[in-house]
Structure 1
Amino acid sequence: MAVDTTARPSFLRPLTVALVLIAVLGLLFGTSWWTVVAAAGWGPAGLAAGSAVFGGAALALPILKILGQRDHDGLSVAGDVLLGAGWVLFTCSVAGNVLRLALSASGVEQAGRITAVAVLAVSGALLAWGHFEAMRVPRVEEVEVTLPRLGPGLDGARVVLLTDTHYGPTDRAAWSRKVTGVVNGLGADVVCHTGDIADGSVRQRREQAAPLADIEARLARVYVTGNHEYYGDALGWLDHMRELGWEPLRNHHVVVERGGDRLVLAGIDDATAHHSGHPGHRADLEAALTGADPSLPVLLLAHQPKQIGQAEAAGVDLQISGHTHGGQIWPFRYLVRLDQPAVAGLSRRTDRTQLYTSRGTGFWGPPFRVFAPSEITLLVLRSPVGTSS
């Protein structure tokens, strides 16, 4: 009997996506609607107006995000702002409902209205502060890291880490120039960028990325890809970083020397690279360390902290990563932690291997940072037998 192998259209996946989207939007805006409108007792007119606002926001968000993907940066920014505002209002509403129940149990009149006003006030304050935090030039986070195998000639070596600049729909060319000014004031021996340079193509974000060409380092400027490069123009950004004078470390290493001692700077592709469809793109630490003197200390650039497993197995001394943004908007850090072994800061993994995770230099999507400040990281490397130079 012949078997019909003709592919039939399947509506299951798009239907599932649509249902998940509806559920997420319903939870995100429905919780806020209930807290700020329905449970507040504003009367029929208030209920109608509030329902229109929250219903319109739930409808507008996916439309703005979809249209924003078609080179409409203004619409993309509007969608990002709406997403960030919706998330903050949602988290405040969850806390607000606890407050409302407590007030009601205490016999406070109009507990719903008090809660609604409190939620709106706190949300507004967090969004204003969070926007300021996202748009300002990052503070310098200075961290000393002792590497037992680091030679004394490299004691005090200054490694600056930039990551997750996410040049995107919000034009931050002036911000980028200021970041370069801060970096150049740090006297870096090595400057690293651990990926997610931009959301968009080189053509779209060329002006924002241009100041990277002016960053100064005495020994090396090195770069690895992040997952967002593979959402768009990975090959374009790799070529463009070379044009700007940076060394892309695609499963590759370079050796720097100071005071007669040497350090291996290795880099691997992002963990998602093998799904990109670009031949040869995948995280391959073995290839990155091929030819390196095994007695030398290794500083590894890897976009995602969860790539630390490979680093531990290979005896890497220090991995530097980004990707997490420190959660960017609280309490998202707790969801990030489910996927990554670290969200921010320095952590020791084995007797030899350490991991530093940056909260990121820029921001993704919503122009807000709430309880997750951006950073320019200055790592001062220390030798246990150092003679600081």
Structure 2
Amino acid sequence: MRKSSTLSLEAKVAAAAGAVLLSMAIARNLMSERFDINVRATLYRVQFLLFINSFMLLGSLFVWRRIASAVILGAKPPSPWLYQAWRAGVLLFLLLTHSSFLTLFYLVAEEPHALSRVVRLDITLDKLPRSLDGLKIVLLSDIHLGSTVGRSRLDLIVSIVNRLEADLVAITGDLADSQVSRLLSASEPLLGMKSKLGSYFVTGNHDYYTADVEAWFAHLRALNIQALHNDHARISQPGQKSDWLCLAGVDDLEARILRYPGHGMNVAKALEGCSPDRPIVLLAHQPRAARWALQERPDIGLVLSGHTHAGQIFPLSIMAYLLNPYFCGLYRVGDSSLVYVSPGTAHYGIPMRIGSRAEVTEILLRAP
């Protein structure tokens, strides 16, 4: 008799990951308006927890089969107890790695300490008036305040920003991974963040996953941070109102996918009143949004983005590179437009980076 073919364990895990991903798409597109904020936020976290663990399980199976049973080449076979201790150590490492994402629900204000380096850039911005030559923008992105980034890390980031004496602070999305009510204490250091001409914020995809964006907007206003919700601000030096720069911001692409009421990327609305003869700086969380915005308005001089984390942990960086039109760093687009993609100011999930570094970006704008 012919034996029936069966799927390998890896194939089953991949199918499970695909099924969870499909359920996420269905829940976010068809069911998001049927539940209140707390239920939606919990549902998003549970789905993401299932997806990331099933996806990681593919790598864990490889590690278990290839490393847990490995014997050092050239050495004698280890004693049984040493061999079992080695396997137990590998198993413990894998369990801790998978369970680390449970911090999406707990440990909201506690986190390990790590430093963000300062990266300095001089960028010549077309049409920038002389009165704004040397304007200093400090860029923050992908802080992910929540499970593994809490008050002490944010306090450190704010202290770095304040030492740089920024004219503007721009936060390009993914500020938080939980509702305002759970992060009131953790977000307090933002009240002490100093900038001469204002601090501005645009949403990222994770901000929408909190299902609490309007509350975050209100909370940020209380912290002296203005949300650019498909909107712009005129930036000028005191006494130089006629020489202004258009600082615009758009909602994240996920807002439309999630059918978040009243939200969705709208470049035309954000730039309404910003004429082509003015210098324009656009805040857009995802590099894909940066590309689409430049296709719609080629007169945008500079787009500041984040989202990719520069992959955060190799080899995830390979996937991040392939999925985004701009991966990390400064890109020239067309004749006079630039895109800068931050690798992120902190991290998401597991508090580690391999092959990437977190940064606070100091940008000096120069007149041509």
> Shorter-normalised TM-score: what interval?
0.7 to 0.9
CA change 1:15–1:150 in 2 (3 A) is closer
- What are the ranges of 5 or more consecutive residues in structure 1 without an aligned counterpart? 1-11, 78-130, 385-389
More helix by share: 1
Counterpart position of 1:3: none
Q: Does 2:136 align with 1:154?
A: no
2:287 corresponds to 1:305: yes
Partner residue of 2:251?
269
State which of 185, 193, 208 in structure 1 corresponds to 2:163.
185
Alignment map for 1:127-206 (pairs within 5 Å): 135-170=113-148, 172-206=150-184
The TM-score with structure 1 as length reference comes to: 0.73
Larger radius of gyration: 1
Looking at structure 2, the residues matched to 26 and 44 of structure 1 have their Cα atoms a distance apart, in angstroms, of: 27
SS, match of residue 229 in structure 2: coil
Contact 1:141 1:378 (C-alpha < 8 Å) held by counterparts: yes
Deviations 1:226-265 (A, max 9, x none): 1111111322222211121111111111111134521001
Moved more, 203-212 or 353-362: 203-212
Q: Is contact 2:143–2:149 with CA below 8 Å preserved after alignment?
A: no
* Match of residue 238 from structure 1: 217
Q: Structure 2: which 5+ runs fail to align?
A: 1-14, 21-49
Task: State the distance in 1 between where 2:51 and 2:161 align.
Answer: 46
**Structure 2 residue aligned with 1:321, among 259, 282, 305?**
305
CA distance in 2 between counterparts of 1:275 and 1:186 reads 37
Aligned-partner Cα distance in 1 for 2:96–2:156: 34
1:163·1:361 contact (CA, 8 Å) conserved in 2? yes
Q: Structure 1 residues 365, 24: CA separation in 2 closer, same or farther (over 3 Å shift)?
A: closer
Deviation at 1:175, TM superposition (A): 2.5
Q: CA RMSD for the aligned pairs?
A: 2.7
Task: Name the CA shift for 1:13/1:46 in 2 (closer, same or farther; >3 Å).
Answer: closer
Count of paired positions = 314
Taking the TM superposition and a 5 Å limit, the aligned residue runs for 1:369-380 are: 369-380=353-364
| 1:271-290 equivalent positions in 2, closer than 5 A | 271-290=253-272
Question: Contact conserved, 1:29 with 1:54, CA < 8 A, in 2?
Answer: no
Contact 1:361 1:376 in 2 (8 A): yes
- C-alpha distance in 2, partners of 1:282/1:15? 26
Indicate how the Cα distance of structure 1 residues 166 and 21 shifts in structure 2: closer, same or farther if over 3 A, else same. closer
**Higher alpha-carbon deviation: 41-50 or 276-285:** 41-50
Which residue is 2:199 aligned to? 221
Q: Secondary structure at the match of 2:152?
A: helix
1:1-389 to 2 correspondences below 5 Å: 16-17=19-20, 24-40=56-72, 41-55=77-91, 58=94, 62=98, 65=101, 67-69=102-104, 71-73=105-107, 135-170=113-148, 172-232=150-210, 233-258=212-237, 259=240, 260-313=242-295, 314-315=297-298, 316-384=300-368
CA–CA distance in 1 between the matches of 2:69 and 2:115?
37
**What is the alpha-carbon distance in structure 2 between the residues aligned to residue 20 and residue 203 of structure 1?**
26
> Which amino acid is the alignment partner of residue 348 of structure 1?
R
Conserved? CA contact 1:302–1:321, under 8 Å: yes
1:53 and 1:26 mapped to 2: Cα distance?
A: 19
**Cα distance, 1:51 vs. partner?**
3.8
